[in-house]
Amino acid sequence: MKFVDEVSIVVKAGDGGNGCMSFRREKFIEFGGPNGGDGGDGGSIYMEADVNLNTLVDYRYTRRFNAQRGENGRGADCTGAGGEDLILKVPVGTTIIDADTQEVIGDLTENGQRIRVAEGGWHGLGNTRFKSSTNRAPRQTSDGKPGELRNLKLEMKVLADVGLLGLPNAGKSSFIRSVSAAKPKVADYPFTTLVPNLGVVSIGRYKSFVIADIPGVIEGAAEGAGLGIRFLKHLTRTRLLLHIVDLAPIDDSDPAHAAQVISDEIERFSPSLAERDRWLVLNKVDQLLECEREERKQAVIDQLGWTGPVFMISALDGEGTKELAQAMMRYLEERDLRIAEDQEYAEYLVDLDQRIEDEGRARLQELDDWRALRRADVKATSDVDEDLEEDDEDEDDEDGAEIIYVR
């Protein structure tokens, strides 16, 4: 199934039914009075999180959704039936944004969570409602109110505890294969991973956490290069970042420079995301001799000025991966315990998460606006070129031989 994590749709709630104008007509009853019923309420539209979905591809080709309209009122004081509500299923982790105002309507983070995104129209009133002591036969009704119309933008972010960062071919997919049952594609060329992959890492019988692998980030990703900038938003909800670096690159490039490139791109994408706890993981140590490993490790640490945790692993052979997985489990447990005990720390994390969300969304919107402006400039330039070509053709016709048509 194709992975789609961002779509734009239009939702239209149902209109309210109109009120009815009717009078009671029966034998031997001379003045029956009004008996027009009210209309029914229009159906509303809801978004509901479903744990069984993992993509927004269903909304890629069907872009407009309309809820049912309320029925009109009828005689004999019959009220029109209300329109049926429309429930749209989306993956857990979907953010709903009003495309016109950029307002965040809601964030579906739990299975079964439901949010109303468009409210149905209020029903119209029948003429029975307008009866009074002075007007015993009213001929007045009211129409139903129109349902709410909204342009929505849906953004899906995977929900994971740990996120993987690194250049293409750093070994991120190999690592997730070695510590979980996930089997992402692995090959010896860049950009093997084109969509995020999730894996569940089990530590013991009752302990586990979710790890997310995203496509590799390259230099210039914050300006739109490569695939990474589009998928960096999936790391905004993680609790820990693993920065995986190829310690023995095949092109003899500097591992410290590769690590610095990723750090710079994260800083450009979201300065708050750079504040998230991050561990340095040096991969492919199986390609080095025992005497070279510590030397290269220390060289990378010195060049980066790294002060956080550092691990050396071989994702292909599984060397050091078990110890790293256990360390991540301990970190997540200690983090949860600290959140429960330290209110100030919990408030800081909530504020950090919100800043990361806002900065990431603003950055992606900035890139979308820039691309739209660029497309508009290209189209305008092509239109000007076509006009110039038409002018040149007209001038050529004027300078050429005169054609006289004879019957």
Cα–Cα distance between 294 and 300 in angstroms, integer? 10
- Residues paired with 78 in a beta bridge: 74
Cα–Cα distance between 137 and 127 in angstroms, integer? 8
Residue type, 307: T
The answer to whether residue 293 scores a pLDDT higher than 70 is: yes
The answer to whether residue 158 scores a pLDDT higher than 80 is: no
Q: Is 265 helix (H, G, I), strand (E, B) or coil?
A: helix
Cα–Cα distance between 211 and 162 in angstroms, integer? 5
Q: How many residues does the chain have?
A: 407
Q: Is 372 helix (H, G, I), strand (E, B) or coil?
A: helix
CA 241, 281, 194, 262 dihedral sign is: positive
pLDDT in the model for residue 157: 76
> Which secondary structure element, helix H or strand E, spans residue 357, and what is its range?
helix 343-399
pLDDT in the model for residue 42: 92
The domain over range 162-347 is classified in CATH as 3.40.50.300: yes
pLDDT in the model for residue 388: 58
pLDDT in the model for residue 1: 46
pLDDT in the model for residue 406: 47
Cα–Cα distance between 80 and 59 in angstroms, integer? 32
pLDDT in tens, 346-395: 888 888 888 887 787 777 777 777 767 877 776 666 655 565 555 555 55
Q: Please count the other Cβ atoms lying within 10 Å of the Cβ belonging to residue 284.
A: 24
Q: Where are the alpha helices (DSSP H) in 305-342?
A: 321-341
Structure token pair of residue 389: 């070509």
The dihedrals phi and psi of 153, each to the nearest 5 degrees, come to -120, 125
The tally of CA atoms less than 13 A away on the side-chain side of residue 109 is 6
* Domain range list for the chain: 6-156, 162-347
Cα–Cα distance between 281 and 308 in angstroms, integer? 11
- Lowest mean pLDDT, pick from 187-196, 210-219, 397-406: 397-406
Is the pTM of the predicted complex or chain greater than 0.85? no
List the beta strands (DSSP E) in 35-157: 45-50, 64-66, 86-91, 94-98, 104-108, 114-118, 149-156
Cα–Cα distance between 404 and 407 in angstroms, integer? 10
The answer to whether residue 76 scores a pLDDT higher than 60 is: yes
* CATH H-level superfamily of 6-156: GTP1/OBG domain (2.70.210.12)
Cα–Cα distance between 155 and 98 in angstroms, integer? 11
Going by their DSSP bridges, the two strands 278-283 and 207-213 should be labelled as: unpaired
The answer to whether residue 252 scores a pLDDT higher than 80 is: no
**Residue 62 CA to its chain's centroid (Å):** 17
pLDDT in the model for residue 275: 84
Residue 189 banded pLDDT, cuts 50, 70, 90: low
